[in-house]
């Protein structure tokens, strides 16, 4: 089973559009506040060289404004007008610190000056606008573009990230999400920037993916966010962050499963069972949701939750509707059925094979599901295996022509054709070719001959996959009583025997 796709870091100019009043320009993703800080610096006597001396001046000015604000708030706690000016000045100093993103080599000095604890503490400032300013600053300081290809810069950014983690930045970032309202465009942007900051931290230090789920309630927040019906940039980003957290992390996969996460993702996906996304961004979000679902379906206990939440039935409904989520639903079923016979049995019981065969001739992803059903059935579900054979024998072996054509194409191409999700194709179809039925085998042998193929071609594919060695174990597991079960399913199956017993690949 292939892992869900690996996520590349989102570039700044690839950010989904945000409200026009937000701090990011919707057209190009430029941080306007950073430009304003540079502009103010120019107005005050030109842009200073970013060196240690400049850093100390910036930090000293910031610490002074922070102290003034704290003193004013303590002195006049019930008179906002008395400390309003100090907060405007504090805001300006935080904005000025953004120029440090252009000099990551100074980060170790920033850490040494003990400025990071002061910044992190401001995430809990009574004025949400100040917290929003700090989030934006942290996003800029940890952005992927800051690191670049310079190893020294990477080490400098890592030192900053380590210090942020030591000062509970993760906890405060996530806690801050709870008090931000997306009804306010600036706060909606702050939510997006918070997610971006968390992604930056994961990019610099992958262990943060599990750390943030262990130490905060981010998973619960993300679950709630993806369940919102209306689509927007933050819902899309929430789905992406969730997929990143689940990717390659069995701990997070199990943790989210225990939070009823499987059902939550199914609910989010169900919104698209009979309609297509309205934009490319919404389509990307839907793919993110299915990536989350596939990740969740890797632990065995989550496969059981998927079954109890009627996930198999939902995926079949999506397949029947043939909307844009069609291929993704098949991929999810593939994950759900791998090494989990109850899901295979449910798929057959709810007539999933009828849906798969209906589209078998036209969709490569449907072929994958069909072949996967055979592979699972051959080793675990004899009743389902017979049903699969019965389906394949109908309509004059029509499906077999397509299988032979696929094997022929695989032989002709230098590299074996790939199916969605990176799954290699032809090895699955050899299972169909060696499937244990006399009439089918005779027809396939004829088709092989007509296409100038031999059983040696099939054998090569099986040997590449390592399935020849499993022939004996499969033969031993067969009870030879397949023909006696024909009446159970009302199919024209006869002469059921071991997959390799009479189909010599020599």
Q: How many residues does the chain have?
A: 506
What is the structure's pLDDT at 146?
Answer: 86
CATH 1.25.10.10-classified regions of the chain:
1-206, 217-350
**Cα–Cα dist 409/398, whole Å:** 18
What is the structure's pLDDT at 374?
Answer: 54
**Exposed, middle or buried: residue 5 (CB in 10 Å: 0-12, 13-18, 19+)?**
middle
Is residue 267 predicted with pLDDT exceeding 60? Answer: yes
CA-based nearest residue to 20, from 189, 162, 239, 245? 189
pLDDT digits (tens, 9 = 90+) for 48-61: 678 999 999 999 99
Question: Rounded to a whole number, what is the distance in angstroms from the first to the last CA of the chain?
Answer: 29
Torsion over CA: 212, 126, 85, 189 (sign): positive
- Alpha carbon separation from 333 to 151, 258, 399 (Å, rounded): 42, 20, 21
pLDDT digits (tens, 9 = 90+) for 174-213: 999 999 999 999 999 999 999 999 999 999 999 999 999 9
> What is the mean pLDDT of the segment spanning 481-506?
34
Q: Which residue has the tokens 């793919």?
A: 287
| Lookup: tokens for 10 | 């989102």
Highest mean pLDDT among 30-34, 283-287, 486-490: 283-287
What is the structure's pLDDT at 110?
Answer: 96
Q: At 455, give phi and psi (nearest 5°).
A: -65, -15
**Cα–Cα dist 217/212, whole Å:** 8
Q: Which residue has the tokens 């929430």?
A: 238
Highest mean pLDDT among 77-81, 92-96, 440-444: 92-96
Contact, 370 vs 337, CB < 8 A?
Answer: no
Mean pLDDT of the chain: 77
What is the structure's pLDDT at 421?
Answer: 41
**Cα–Cα dist 222/269, whole Å:** 14
pLDDT digits (tens, 9 = 90+) for 310-351: 999 999 999 888 888 988 998 899 899 888 989 988 988 888
Predicted confidence band at 470 (pLDDT cuts at 50, 70, 90)?
A: very low
**Cα–Cα dist 292/11, whole Å:** 21
Is residue 465 predicted with pLDDT exceeding 70? Answer: no
Predicted confidence band at 13 (pLDDT cuts at 50, 70, 90)?
A: very low
**Cα–Cα dist 96/89, whole Å:** 11
Q: Show Cβ contacts of residue 469 under 8 Å, excluding neighbours closer than 6 positions.
A: none
Spell out the CATH class of 1-206. Answer: mainly alpha
pLDDT digits (tens, 9 = 90+) for 99-140: 999 999 999 999 999 999 999 999 999 999 999 999 999 999
Strand partners, 24: 31
Torsion over CA: 140, 145, 150, 151 (sign): positive
Q: Which of 262-271, 478-487, 492-501 has the lowest mean pLDDT?
A: 492-501
In CATH, the architecture of 217-350 is: Alpha Horseshoe (1.25)
CB atoms within 10 A of CB 301: 12
The alpha-carbon radius of gyration of the chain (Å, integer) is 29
Is residue 382 predicted with pLDDT exceeding 90? Answer: no
């Amino acid at each position: 089973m292939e892992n869900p796709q690996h996520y590349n870091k989102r570039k700044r100019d690839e950010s989904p559009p945000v409200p026009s009043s937000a701090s990011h320009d919707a057209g190009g993703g430029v941080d306007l506040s950073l430009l304003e800080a540079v502009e103010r610096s120019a107005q005050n006597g030109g842009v200073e060289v970013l060196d240690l001396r400049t850093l100390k001046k910036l930090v000293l000015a910031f610490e002074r404004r922070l102290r003034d604000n704290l003193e004013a708030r303590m002195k006049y706690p019930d008179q906002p007008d008395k400390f309003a000016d100090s907060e405007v000045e504090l805001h300006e100093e935080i904005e000025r610190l953004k120029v440090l993103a252009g000099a990551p080599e100074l980060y170790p000095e920033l850490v040494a000056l003990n400025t990071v604890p002061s910044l992190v503490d401001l995430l809990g400032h009574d004025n949400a606008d100040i917290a929003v300013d700090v989030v934006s600053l942290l996003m800029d300081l940890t952005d992927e573009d800051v690191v670049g290809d310079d190893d020294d810069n990477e080490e400098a950014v890592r030192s900053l990230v380590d210090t942020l983690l030591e000062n509970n930045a993760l906890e405060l970032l996530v806690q801050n999400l709870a008090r931000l309202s997306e009804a306010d465009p600036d706060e909606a942007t702050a939510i997006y920037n918070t997610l971006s900051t968390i992604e930056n931290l994961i990019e610099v230090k992958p262990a943060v993916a599990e750390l943030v789920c262990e130490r905060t309630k981010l998973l619960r927040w993300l679950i709630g966010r993806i369940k919102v019906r209306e689509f927007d940039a933050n819902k899309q980003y929430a789905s992406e962050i969730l997929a990143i957290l689940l990717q390659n992390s069995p701990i997070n996969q199990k943790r989210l499963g225990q939070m009823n996460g499987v059902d939550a993702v199914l609910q989010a996906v169900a919104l698209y069972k009979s309609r297509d996304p309205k934009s490319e961004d919404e389509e990307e979000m839907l793919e993110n949701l299915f990536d989350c679902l596939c990740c969740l379906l890797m632990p065995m206990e989550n496969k059981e939750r998927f079954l109890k939440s009627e996930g198999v039935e939902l995926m079949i409904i999506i397949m029947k509707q043939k909307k844009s989520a069609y291929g993704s639903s098949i991929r999810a079923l593939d994950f759900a059925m791998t090494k989990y016979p109850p899901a295979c049995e449910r798929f057959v019981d709810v007539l999933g094979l009828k849906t798969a065969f209906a589209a078998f001739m036209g969709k490569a992803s449907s072929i994958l599901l069909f072949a996967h059903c055979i592979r699972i059935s051959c080793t675990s579900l004899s009743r389902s295996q017979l049903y699969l054979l019965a389906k394949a024998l109908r309509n004059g072996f029509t499906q077999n022509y397509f299988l032979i054509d696929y094997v022929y194409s695989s032989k002709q191409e230098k590299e074996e054709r790939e199916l969605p999700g990176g799954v290699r194709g032809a090895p699955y179809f050899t299972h169909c070719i060696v499937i244990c039925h006399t009439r089918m085998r005779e027809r396939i042998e004829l088709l092989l001959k007509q296409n100038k193929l031999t059983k040696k071609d099939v054998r090569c594919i099986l040997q590449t996959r390592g399935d020849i060695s499993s022939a004996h174990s499969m033969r031993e597991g067969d009870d030879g009583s397949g023909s006696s079960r024909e009446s159970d399913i009302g199919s024209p199956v006869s002469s059921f025997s071991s997959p390799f017993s009479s189909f010599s690949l020599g």
